Every structure is written in C-alpha cells, then in structure tokens.
Amino acid sequence: MLINIKSSNSILDFCLPYKKSFSDLVWPNSKIETWKMTPLNKFINNKNNYKVESYYKTNVDNKVNILKEIDANNIQFLKSNFFKNSKMTDIILSNISSSFEVFLPDNFSSNYDINFSSIVESDIWASSVIVIKTGKNVKANIKFDYSLTSNSLCTPLILFDIDDGSNLSFGLNVINKDNSLKDANFISLIEGNINKHSNIDMVVTQQGVNMSRSDINMNLKNDFSSYNLTGIYFGRDKHHQDITACVNHLAQNTSSNQIVRGILDDSSVGVYQGGIKVAPKAQKTDGKQMSRALLLSKLAESNSKPELEIFADDVTCAHGATIGELDKDQFFYLLSRGISYNEARDILIKAYLSEILSEVQNEFLYDQLDYAINFWLDEFYSKVAA
C-alpha cells in the first residue's frame, strides 16, 4: 500500500521555525560540520531546483495500526536528540514532505518483515522524518529502500527509540533507478537510543547515486544494550560515498561493532568517518569499529577517520581502517595455481564481498547485503581491469 500520512500539526509546528525556501538554504561546508570529509555544498547548491514531495510504499497492513502520525511525545523526543546542533537537521526540517511513526507496542513480534520503499523521481526533493519506536520486548525487522533518479534529492531523518528487551533488525539501502544518474544526492541522518538489554542490528548499503552520505549516531543508553552495524558502499564514475558512523556508550556492559566496507572504482571517492565514545560511567564497554576500502582503480580515493574517545577505564575497544588495492600476494598465489589475471581479480573482488557477507548471520540483513552486492556485480562491475 501507498502511505501518505499527513504531517501532523505537532510536526508542522515543530518545523515552523526551520521553514525556508530552497533557494535560501545554505548547504553545510566542511568547516561547520562535525565530520568534515563530505562537503555537501560541493554537491548541492541553490542552482538545483526541486519540488518538495515524497511518498513511501509499504507492506504494512493498515489494520495492524503500527503507522501513526508524529505526535507531541515524539516531538519531545525529537527535541532531546542531539541532531539539533546539526546544520543538516535544520535543512531537513526546513522542508518536510512526509513524516510518520512506526510504533511497535510491548511484546510486538512480527511474523513478517516490515518494508518501506521510496522512489524519488526527477526534480523532487524527498525529505522525511521517521520515528521508529518500540515498547518493551519487541522483535522486528524493518527495511527502508530508496531508489533515486537523476536530479533528485533524498534526505530522510530516521530516529529510533528502542525500549527495554527489544531486538530490532534494520536495513537502509540506496540504489539508483536509472543506469546513468546525474545529480542524484542522498543524505540520511540516523539516530537512536537503545535501552536496557536491547539491540539493533543494522545494515546500510549505498550505491549508484552521485553522492550518498549516511550519518549514523547510536546511543547505548542503558546497561546491556548493544548495536551492530554492517555498512557497504560501492563507488564508480565520480561518485562520492560516505558512511559516517558513531556510537555513544553511555551505560555499563554495552557493546557495539561497526564494520564498514567500500569498493571504489573509476574516480570515485569513499569516506568512512566515525567514532566510539565511551562515557565515564560506561564501564565494561566493548566497542569495535573497522573499515576497509578496496580501490579498484588508480584514480579512486578513500578517506577515513576512525576516532576513539574513552572516558572510562574498564573498556575493550578496537578500531582500525585500511585502504588498499587487491593484495599482491593473494594475486600471486592464485596465478601460481594457473588462474589467469582477470579471473584472479574476479575471485579476489568477490572474496572481498563475500567476506562481509560471512560476518552477518541475520538472514533478513544478509539478504539485503547480498542483494546490494549482486546488484553491483550485475550492473556495474567490469570483469576486466581497466
């Protein structure tokens, strides 16, 4: 079904102070953003002109009653989040075209995956605020697929509020609808609070659009909460792909694992930036973040900036970022077994991708990664090195 939940008065009131026409917006440059490697003003400026409009398709049955308009409680939650300091939040709130809440009550356990998809047509700016809120002991799978066309802009702001004992699997996937896109830009802001004994497993895949940035901030708010992210981006042409991922450990015995991988061809640019922050009282934190970018072309570029900020003493944290071409020793090993250069390249690229799959056990999320990988392999991957 197509959803078109009217923005509530609450959200309209809330957004009122931010209201601006597109031509008056100032897109953030590197200087004013926390994470500096994707200068949005280089990709979007007032020359673009969009009609503000968006819609989602979903498989959620109306009768189930889990889709709601955003109410005053949510506004309270919106106000308390720390996107309020972000220029990008201001921009999203300046022109909201859809807003809704997915509310999963106590003990909700869906026997189907909750899917949302949105196609952003040419000359459209789709800007939405989505709140995903659970009661206690909820178990659910939720997925958002975005598909962009030329000269479109998509800026979802997605907020999670996960109550105790809940388990959420969440996927966000960005692809191109046409084969050769011009000026398709995707910028998401994702933030959430995860409470006691709750967990979010998340997958983010990005490909095919000219610029794509997912900026994810998760707060492990209460003891024994956990969060895992597997992100993958594919770059080609002059595309710019950014996954920015931060986690805040705010309570004891919390754990996080953020894995981001990129594969960059042609003159594309990949960005991974992010961090693990551990608050003074967040003892027994276990935090990991790893990023890897594979460069398939001499002109491709990858920038990464993983950061640790630890104020507790009893913590285990690991982080690292590697950038590289296909491994020479692996190449030689394959060649020495009689495998030709191009076949060896093919094997190693697919190995790199299947390695990331092997780290995801959750079937719902695995399928999304698998789809994204195969989409890339089918559409853009050239078996022969340039």
Partner 1 sequence: MNLLNIDNLHASIGDEKILNGFSLKINSGETHAIMGPNGSGKSTLSYVLSGKDDYNVTQGNILLKNENIIELSADERSKLGLFLAFQYPIELPGVTGMTFLRTIINSSRVAKGLPELEGIELVKIIREKATELNISQDMLKRFVNVGFSGGEKKRFEILQMSLLDPSIAVLDETDSGLDVDALRTVGSGVTNLKNKDKGMLVITHYQRLLDHIVPDFVHIMVKGKILESGGPDLAKIVEKEGYKRFIDAN
Is 377 an interacting residue with respect to partner 1 (CB under 8 A)? no
- Joined tokens for residue 19: 């209201």
Which of residues 119 and 353 has its CB atom nearest to partner 1 in the complex? 353
Is 385 an interacting residue with respect to partner 1 (CB under 8 A)? no
Kindly write out the interface string for residues 92-131 of this chain, putting x where it contacts partner 1 by CB under 8 A and - elsewhere: ----------------------------------------
DSSP β-ladder status, 167-176 and 199-207? parallel
Whether 97 contacts 128, CB under 8 Å: yes
Which of residues 46 and 342 has its CB atom nearest to partner 1 in the complex? 342
Whether 70 contacts 102, CB under 8 Å: no
* Closest CB 224 distance from partner 1, rounded Å: 30
User: Residue 332 burial (CB < 10 Å; 0-12/13-18/19+)?
Assistant: exposed
* Closest CB 233 distance from partner 1, rounded Å: 18
Kindly write out the interface string for residues 292-331 of this chain, putting x where it contacts partner 1 by CB under 8 A and - elsewhere: ------------------------------------xxx-
Which of residues 314 and 343 has its CB atom nearest to partner 1 in the complex? 343
Q: Which helix (H) or strand (E) holds 357?
A: helix 341-358
For the beta carbon of residue 211, count every other beta carbon within 10 angstroms: 22
Distance CA 285, CA 281 (A): 10
Distance CA 11, CA 366 (A): 35
DSSP β-ladder status, 255-264 and 226-235? parallel
Is 361 an interacting residue with respect to partner 1 (CB under 8 A)? no
Q: Using the rule CB under 8 A, which residue among 107, 309, 341, 374 binds partner 1? A: 341
Which of residues 251 and 323 has its CB atom nearest to partner 1 in the complex? 323
Stretch that binds partner 1, among 191-199, 206-214, 233-241, 353-361 (CB under 8 A): 353-361
Instruction: Classify the C-alpha dihedral 343-344-345-347 as positive or negative.
Output: positive
Is 355 an interacting residue with respect to partner 1 (CB under 8 A)? yes
Is 353 an interacting residue with respect to partner 1 (CB under 8 A)? yes
SS3 content of the chain, % helix, strand, coil (to 5): 25, 45, 35
Is 340 an interacting residue with respect to partner 1 (CB under 8 A)? yes
Is 182 an interacting residue with respect to partner 1 (CB under 8 A)? no
Per the DSSP assignment, residues forming a β-bridge with 305 are 273
- Contacts with partner 1 by CB under 8 A lie at 328-330, 332-341, 343-344, 347-348, 350-355, 358
